[in-house]
Amino acid sequence: MKFCLFWMLITALAHRSAEDLPELTNRCQLELGISDNDIARYKSEAMDLSDVTYNMKCLSKCLLEQEGVLSNGKINTNVPIEVALKFPILRDDPEKALKALEECQEQKGDNDCEIAFAITLCVYDKFTKK
């Protein structure tokens, strides 16, 4: 999957406009010690999930938590659906967006970073399948 599409989805879930993504990402990068080179690598290449570092998974968590969408590994589905529908990839099929969020909210993982990343991947997967 392409990084930009992946982060656009996280942004949609995190109640932000695409214009706010760099500022939000920078805050989380600083908190997690993720370099600009790490970010650039994912932006320019197809993302190989086996190469995703723990800190990159925590970036998903950080982005979602900053808006109160994720807390203690649980996603608040009342917040993101209305915001998610502002993005063309999600807006084109509101029923699919709602269904994906509902189906993905109970993703499991060893910790909140793993859960946040699993939720994001799940929603992405639901939207890329026809």
Q: How far apart are CA 75 and CA 65, in angstroms?
A: 9
Per-residue pLDDT tens digits for 7-20:
556 655 555 555 56
What local confidence, expressed as pLDDT, does residue 1 receive?
Answer: 46
The CATH architecture assigned to 20-128 reads Orthogonal Bundle (1.10)
Pair 39, 28: CB distance under 8 Å: no
> Of 120, 88, 82, which Cα lies nearest the Cα of 104?
120
Cα torsion for 31, 78, 118, 91, to the nearest 10°? -100
What local confidence, expressed as pLDDT, does residue 17 receive?
Answer: 56
What local confidence, expressed as pLDDT, does residue 99 receive?
Answer: 78
Pair 130, 96: CB distance under 8 Å: no
Per-residue pLDDT tens digits for 75-117:
776 665 666 566 556 667 777 777 777 788 888 999 999 998 8
Pair 6, 120: CB distance under 8 Å: yes
Q: Six-digit token pair at 10?
A: 């996280």
What local confidence, expressed as pLDDT, does residue 58 receive?
Answer: 94
Q: How far is CA 73 from the centre of its chain?
A: 13
At residue 41 the predicted structure's pLDDT band, cuts being 50, 70 and 90, is confident
Which pTM was predicted? 0.75
Q: Six-digit token pair at 91?
A: 């807006």
